[in-house]
């Protein structure tokens, strides 16, 4: 979308319902996480999930239950943001997060190993994390497309994650200079289609306005079909996007 005038309130609500409202800041506190939840206006719509550091999973579960927002999932991150933690530490963190009620685990694949020509290590991280998740939590695998950069590496990382058991593949941590792009999204969604497995897609980092989000929806619908674009298979990871959603809705 090239102009704000092309964006409607219904567009904004649709984007919100696909959003993982995210706060992954070093200065986060229980109070700041509650403030993020306070920024949600249920009269407009609820996001698909909130995504926070592991130590705030319990806070989110308690607060969401108190508000009656039972549809909102709680996601957290592991091996974040650099993808270099020991596997045993990642798996222990995953289990703790699930024990505290996490519905979704956003795992950073050891993406530098893909660049180095080692597909086995990333596969093991994804496969082992999925075994811990079992049926208790969805596993969303961050491949860090801005570092992989080349379409062939993005495709390879997507394939590794999909074949190792990922429930979603996700573009980015939001902590590197280049995060979600339409070009990377196209490669990833095409790999989902080619592999033929029930895997979702998450665009994370850099989608700050409803207008920036809509082309991703169009792209996904073109490749996978309009019915595929739902919270169970498509997400935006965003922190500031909610502000623009509210602005668009207020404008009608």
Query: Exactly one of 130, 138, 140, 170 is catalytic; which is it?
Result: 170
Residue among 112, 230, 225 nearest 168 (CA): 230
Question: Is 202 an annotated catalytic residue?
Answer: yes
Which are the contacts of 1, defined by CB distance < 8 A and separation ≥ 6?
7, 210, 211, 212, 214, 215
Question: Is 170 an annotated catalytic residue?
Answer: yes
How many angstroms separate the CA atoms of 207 and 185, rounded? 12
DSSP 125-183: HHHHHHHHHTTTSEEEEE--HHHH-SHHHHHHHHHHHHHHT-SEEE---S-SSS---HH
Question: Is 106 an annotated catalytic residue?
Answer: yes
Contact 29, 55 (CB under 8 A): no
Bond from prior residue into 9 cis (ω within 30 degrees of 0): no
How many angstroms separate the CA atoms of 137 and 140, rounded? 10
- Pair of tokens at residue 251: 């404008």
Query: Exactly one of 20, 130, 202, 244 is catalytic; which is it?
Result: 202
Q: Which residues pair with 237 in a beta bridge?
A: 20, 204
Max CA separation in the chain (angstroms): 51
Query: Exactly one of 106, 138, 140, 244 is catalytic; which is it?
Result: 106
Length of the chain: 252
Residue 225 half-sphere exposure toward CB, CA atoms < 13 A: 4
Catalytic residue annotation:
106, 170, 202
């Amino acid at each position: 979308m090239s102009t704000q005038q092309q964006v409607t309130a219904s567009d904004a609500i649709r984007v919100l319902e696909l959003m993982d409202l995210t706060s992954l800041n070093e200065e986060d506190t229980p109070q700041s996480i509650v403030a993020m939840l306070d920024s949600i206006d249920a009269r407009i719509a609820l996001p698909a999930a909130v995504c926070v550091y592991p130590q705030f999973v319990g806070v989110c579960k308690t607060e969401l239950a108190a508000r009656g927002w039972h549809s909102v999932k709680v996601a957290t991150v592991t091996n974040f943001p650099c993808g270099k933690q020991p596997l045993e530490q990642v798996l222990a963190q995953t289990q703790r997060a699930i024990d505290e009620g996490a519905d979704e685990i956003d795992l950073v694949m050891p993406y530098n190993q893909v660049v180095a020509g080692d597909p086995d290590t990333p596969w093991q991280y994804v496969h082992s994390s999925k075994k811990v998740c079992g049926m208790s939590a969805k596993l969303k695998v961050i491949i860090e497309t801005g570092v992989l950069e080349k379409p062939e590496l993005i495709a390879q990382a997507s394939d590794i994650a999909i074949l190792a058991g990922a429930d979603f593949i996700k573009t980015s941590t939001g902590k590197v200079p280049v995060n979600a792009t339409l070009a990377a999204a196209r490669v990833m969604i095409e790999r989902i289609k080619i592999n033929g497995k029930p895997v979702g897609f998450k665009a994370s980092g850099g989608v700050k306005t409803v207008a920036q989000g809509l082309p991703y929806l169009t792209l996904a619908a073109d490749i996978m079909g309009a019915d595929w674009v739902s919270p169970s298979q498509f997400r935006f990871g965003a922190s500031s996007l909610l502000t623009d959603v509210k602005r668009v809705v207020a404008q009608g």
